[in-house]
Amino acid sequence: MPVTELVRWYATDAFLSDLPSTFGPMVKIYTGVEVEDNTSFWMVVVWQSHEHHQAMMNRPDYPDMVARLKPFFRDGQLKMDHVEFNGDSDNAFGSPITLLSFMRVRTGHTVEELERRLQATCNRESSTRWGQTHEDARMVIGITGCTDSKVSDATNMGKDNNPFPGLNEVADIRSLSVKFVKEIAA
């Protein structure tokens, strides 16, 4: 099953000013800057499987690849989540705005319960997809493709930018929006 890697860092101005030349050589990824803070850079890579991604991380030159990015981190941190979404993620990442929702399952509830409620809440026709992270068994990430006006409505719902207010009983939800661009090499 495909696994999606969501990488982000609080980027320097120098890095943000020259994104096309930085990522032009890559085959296919989505890149974008968080709308709310305008400094968190996001990169989404869809791998054939988690094993394919792990093979890249096991390469002897992987630490050097990450080290080359470090000058572009404001806080020195690179954060990654790996998710197997419950369906095709292209519509969500290919929309004018992608809403990312980080849902931490509350004590006394289960991921399965959260997923059942998501299925009941989300329209089958929508671009909303979700999946549990490999890194944290209690974290589910949801993605929704939006237009500019729809994301404004969604991110202004509730005090915690929660587009899924009916799920508050089972999860703590934090949402943000990113304008992704699909990067394709020539």
Q: Please state the pTM of the whole predicted model.
A: 0.80
Segments making up each domain of the chain, as ranges: 3-83, 90-179
* Phi, psi angle pair for 77, to nearest 5°: -115, 140
Pair of tokens at residue 139 = 């974290």
Does residue 39 contact residue 74 with C-beta atoms inside 8 Å? yes
Pair of tokens at residue 82 = 């790996």
CATH 3.65.10.10 fits 3-83, yes or no: no
The answer to whether the 3-83 and 90-179 domains have the same CATH topology is yes
Amino acid found at 116:
R
C-alpha 78/C-alpha 38 separation (Å) is 17
Tell me the CATH architecture of domain 90-179.
2-Layer Sandwich (3.30)
User: What does each of the 186 residues of the chain score in pLDDT, given as a tens digit?
Assistant: 676 777 877 777 877 776 665 544 344 689 899 999 899 999 898 877 778 778 778 878 778 878 888 888 888 888 999 999 998 888 899 899 999 999 999 999 999 999 999 988 887 667 899 999 999 999 999 999 988 755 545 444 444 455 676 798 999 999 999 999 987 533
